[in-house]
Structure 1
Amino acid sequence: MEVIIADDHELATLVADAIERLLHRESAPVLGLATGSSPLSVYDELTRRHEDNGLSFAGVRGFMLDEYVGLPASHPQCYRNVIDAEFVSRVDFEDGAVQGPNGMAGDLTAASAEYDRAIAEAGGIDLQILGIGTDGHIAFNEPGSSLASRTRVKTLAHQTRMDNARFFDDNVDQVPQHCLTQGLGTIMEARHLMLIATGGHKAEAVHQMVEGPISSMWPATVLQMHPHATVLVDDAAASRLQLGDYYRQTYASKLDRNRL
């Protein structure tokens, strides 16, 4: 695991650089896309490069991490609509190139298995963008999730629903109780994981993820087992890291600063 501590602008630039290199390197790249506040600056930077420099997403496939169960496709907080507004509609993805789990499926178990198959048939995810919850969840894998889990239905923790209530008029009762989410095992199959966390409210989760024991109580700790995971945090999110100075030293002395 590589830990990079920098300001939000540099973090977004580093992730965008990695994605741009991937798009130039691969003929049919596959991106894993996350919603939430963490990746917004990355999507803004990629959109800027598309508009100013012609960076193209034609031929790129995208897979979302999760989707609420039972939220109609017309609802503004349906994650298909959120990712379209935040990123997909702002660049030149081809129609249907980005897909997510079907939270309105009649058979959610079958829909989950179908989603994992779709990812595999696309060749797997080359680069997965991730955020982290205050309780250490990634995607909607709440504390207690199996570290080998696949895409499946999960019940959202009360804290997660409270955190997401701001998107539902600050009314936690409007936040769905269930979701379809990529499992930790599914996420770990991506070839490169890039997790972004900013703000002091994420500091304990970042500390546990990077320096704590691997445990289902802090699901993001599974990233310690990935051969190519990059954790990008600002000073506030890094404030609980015991080895923060070492991570800064390591990044400052990299032999190749462009290679994450």
Structure 2
Amino acid sequence: MKKTSDTPTFTTPQGRKIAYHLTDGTGPAVVFLGGFKSDMGGTKAVYLEDWARKEGRAFLRFDYSGHGESDGAFTDGAIGDWFEDACAALGLIAGKVVLVGSSMGGWISLQIARAMPERIAGMVTIAAAPDFTEDSMWGSFTDAQKAELAQGQVALPSDYGEPYIITKRLIEEGRNRLVLRDPLSLPFPVRFLQGTADADVDMSVALRLLDHATGPDMRLTLLDGADHRFSDDTCLTLIEQSVTEVLHAAG
């Protein structure tokens, strides 16, 4: 997605320029965190923005550095950079937020919950992919791919277009961001959403996350036949219902 002149931006403490769209409304604000190499113009983000506008609810969507309309090269980034971008984006909003994290955005949401639980009123994850650089990527690499990565990067085929260029830094830096190895407290309403036909994030990941995290109000919903995009009408309705439920439970 090419940046347009009227897209607002802010600069993170690390000096990265981030594009965003903020809808005014009542709090807690709903914040959408997108997936790996996706952008804030995706179906789920725009659907939720439309819903929030109708509800008079504050809503934020943004692009991580190297994604969408934000500055930077995708291959220069790593999970920690995008986590820092998300934390800086929360600085645009006063008060508590409800995080809606899709795929990698689910992992980043969990990191935010660990780093600043006092900011979080609730959370909805959609095909969350915690620790995917280690468990899904590194864990499935062949010896040849690991050797290639040691030289700097390796290309992985993608169902979504061009191959993913996976850098050595992405894998190594991701090891500092893992959330499934140590206790993970989610002291607020949480709804995990997962499709049974997801070819990118297996259902076992959702079950592992539910079993690993601790919290007073955590629920996992499996949607039969839904794929990783989780963007058809049934999926979008479930996302909306889940966000509404979390907002109600959060009071």
Q: Taking CA–CA contacts closer than 8 Å with sequence separation of 6 or more, which of the two structures ends up with the larger relative contact order?
A: 1
Higher strand share: 2
Check whether TM > 0.5.
no
TM-score where L is the length of structure 1? 0.39
TM-score where L is the length of structure 2? 0.41
